[in-house]
Chain A
Amino acid sequence: MFNWLSNPNTMSVVGIWLAAFGTLAIYSILYKENPVYRMAEHIFIGAAAGYGVYVTWSQILKPLWWDKITSGQWYWVFALVAGSMFYFIYSQRHLWISRLIFGALLGLISGTVFKGFAGVNMDRIYASFKPVAGHGMTAAQSLNNILFIFVLLTVMAYFFFSFEHKDAIRRVPSSIGRWVLMFAFGAMFGSTVMARMSLLIGRIYFLLHDWLHVAH
């Protein structure tokens, strides 16, 4: 009776129809709030959470922790003890236990972040010292580097808050820096629009290509 369930082609078609229904149900919010949207939203959240729990167990906890305990490396059980200490944050009486593990974690993270700061920023600071002429540079490269340095200095001037920007020497670079920042934010917002459009195109392509077979 249920042999069709084991047929991969049938399940593929069913999967595509379910995905198409889910896509349309989620996009129905664009018209107005409705129960079909709510249902699809809850199904997605529930399915994603359930899948996440399963994969976390099957790909992380079981192979890297449980299998080690059951194969004789019993000391891995202490990982459970350390992990459980976080949950004492919910107990007024035993709050101090969670502080121990949080303190250890914060110390670990602080040290790591401090180390990482140099790795991220030193190269960028070094790269901001650009030549403006010589070194076989073309006029375009030279102009590009001059523009880079001009933008760098004006933006830094905008974020210089130690004294009031009263006279023109301090006010003008700061003002230019603000304009340059606006350009940058505009470009970033353009990227955001492109990202959102891409995601929408992905779903419309799925509906037209995989479901309705009308897209090339």
Chain B
Amino acid sequence: MRWFDRLQHIDRRIMYVLLALVIAAPLIWKLDFPIIASPAVKGAYNAVENIPDGKIAVISINWASGTIAENGPQTEAIIRHMFIKDKKFAIIAWDPQGSKFSYDYAERIARETGKVYGRDWVHWGLRPIANIVLLIQGFARNIPRTIGKDINGTPLSDIPMMQEIKDIKDVGLIADITPTATLDIWIAYIYGQYRTPIIYAPTAVMAPEGFNPLDAGQIKGMLAGMKGAAEYEHLLGRVDFATRATGALSSSHILIIVLIILGNVGYLMSRRRREEE
């Protein structure tokens, strides 16, 4: 086999090892790349800053362990920002694992920032994703009646920060953190009807679907995957997981680009040689 034929038949296991190495090296030897916050991330950041006093944010969690590397840092950065800026929020989860993860994240960051459950934040618990359309419409009209109890089984009427929160008019921001297509549901039944601001934190694979609503002004900002989380951490002035991972993300992309070029060079050389023969 000639060298350019070999370029098209590199053993996939060699590529996996190379990939593991180019990811591990920047994580071990701290290879950082400059981070510049995009307008989409700045928009999300400003939307959190501008939540009016007296209103809460609702953080919608629809992710599980499978996308924790992307949705986890997004959740952490948004929660931390809200705590730093004294913005009260409620978490609603649509996935059993996401319910646990989001509660643990908020509890840990609340300890770090001196915030108190029930006064500064609340977790509404898990709700069935199959009923998301009906639940969203119900909660827009009557939050205490639709949500009922929090994750600990406490009626919302007994939770201090929920005393004055009655319906969607008391919600200043929706943050949709998700690996699936739930954004259009929030836009259809909340933004389309009540004009409540929305920010979107999808996995990178879902991010292209966010640019239409972003362009149309239906969402205030977007955190595209881990990169978006790193940009948000940059705006917060923090170095957490997403920021540490940017070097590995860039080096893995460089390797893939190099492999694509090598594969195409091999293909073109093979084709030219065949034509000559």
The answer to whether B110 has its CB under 8 Å from any CB of chain A is no
The answer to whether B205 has its CB under 8 Å from any CB of chain A is yes
The answer to whether A197 has its CB under 8 Å from any CB of chain B is yes
Within 8 A of A (CB), among B204-262: 204-208, 212-213, 215-218, 224-227, 241, 244-245, 248-249, 252-253, 256
Q: A120 contacts B241, CB within 8 Å? A: no
Q: A192 contacts B204, CB within 8 Å? A: yes
The answer to whether A199 has its CB under 8 Å from any CB of chain B is yes
Q: B215 contacts A127, CB within 8 Å? A: yes
Within 8 A of A (CB), among B187-213: 187-189, 191-193, 203-208, 212-213
Q: B192 contacts A120, CB within 8 Å? A: yes
Which of B63-71, B78-86, B164-172, B265-273 lines the interface with chain A? B63-71
The answer to whether A82 has its CB under 8 Å from any CB of chain B is no
Q: Which of A59, A123, A126, A208 contacts B99 (CB 8 A)?
A: A59
Q: B27 contacts A60, CB within 8 Å? A: no
Considering the chains assembled together, what is the distance between the CA atoms of A116 and B192 in angstroms?
8
Q: B70 contacts A198, CB within 8 Å? A: yes
Q: Which of B100, B127, B252 contacts A60 (CB 8 A)?
A: B127
Considering the chains assembled together, what is the distance between the CA atoms of A55 and B128 in angstroms?
11
Q: Which range holds the interface residue count of chain B? A: 35 or more
Beta-carbon nearest neighbor of B17 in chain A: A30
The answer to whether B28 has its CB under 8 Å from any CB of chain A is yes
Known A56-B126, A199-B66, A214-B28; contact A115-B188, beta-carbon cutoff 8 A: yes
Q: What are the residues of chain A within 8 A of B20 when measuring CB–CB?
A: 204
Q: What are the residues of chain B within 8 A of A60 when measuring CB–CB?
A: 125-128
Q: Mark B50-91, 1 if CB is under 8 A from A, else 0.
A: 000000000000001111111010000000000000000000
Considering the chains assembled together, what is the distance between the CA atoms of A128 and B217 in angstroms?
11
The answer to whether B116 has its CB under 8 Å from any CB of chain A is no
Q: What are the residues of chain B within 8 A of A200 when measuring CB–CB?
A: 19, 23, 69, 252
Within 8 A of A (CB), among B108-164: 125-128, 133-134, 137, 148-149, 151, 153
Main secondary structure of the interface of A (DSSP, over half): helix
Q: Nearest Cβ in chain A — how far from B43, in angstroms?
A: 15
The answer to whether A163 has its CB under 8 Å from any CB of chain B is no
The answer to whether B263 has its CB under 8 Å from any CB of chain A is no
Main secondary structure of the interface of B (DSSP, over half): helix
The answer to whether B3 has its CB under 8 Å from any CB of chain A is no
Known A187-B208, A204-B24; contact A199-B16, beta-carbon cutoff 8 A: no
Q: Nearest Cβ in chain B — how far from A192, in angstroms?
A: 5
Q: B216 contacts A119, CB within 8 Å? A: no
Q: Nearest Cβ in chain A — how far from B105, in angstroms?
A: 15
Q: Which of A64, A112, A122, A202 contacts B69 (CB 8 A)?
A: A202
The answer to whether A215 has its CB under 8 Å from any CB of chain B is yes
Q: What are the residues of chain B within 8 A of A156 when measuring CB–CB?
A: none
Q: A202 contacts B256, CB within 8 Å? A: no
Q: What are the residues of chain B within 8 A of A115 when measuring CB–CB?
A: 188-189
Q: Which of B28, B72, B96, B207 contacts A191 (CB 8 A)?
A: B207
With A59-B99, A116-B184, A184-B208 given, can you name 13 additional A-B contacts, CB distance below 8 Å?
A30-B13, A115-B189, A116-B133, A124-B218, A195-B70, A195-B225, A197-B23, A198-B225, A198-B226, A201-B226, A204-B24, A205-B244, A205-B245
B interface vs A, CB < 8 Å?
12-13, 16, 19-20, 23-24, 27-28, 30, 64-70, 72, 96-97, 99-100, 125-128, 133-134, 137, 148-149, 151, 153, 184-185, 187-189, 191-193, 203-208, 212-213, 215-218, 224-227, 241, 244-245, 248-249, 252-253, 256
A interface vs B, CB < 8 Å?
30-31, 48, 51-52, 54-56, 59-60, 62-64, 67, 108-109, 112, 115-120, 122-124, 126-128, 184, 187-188, 191-205, 208-209, 214-216
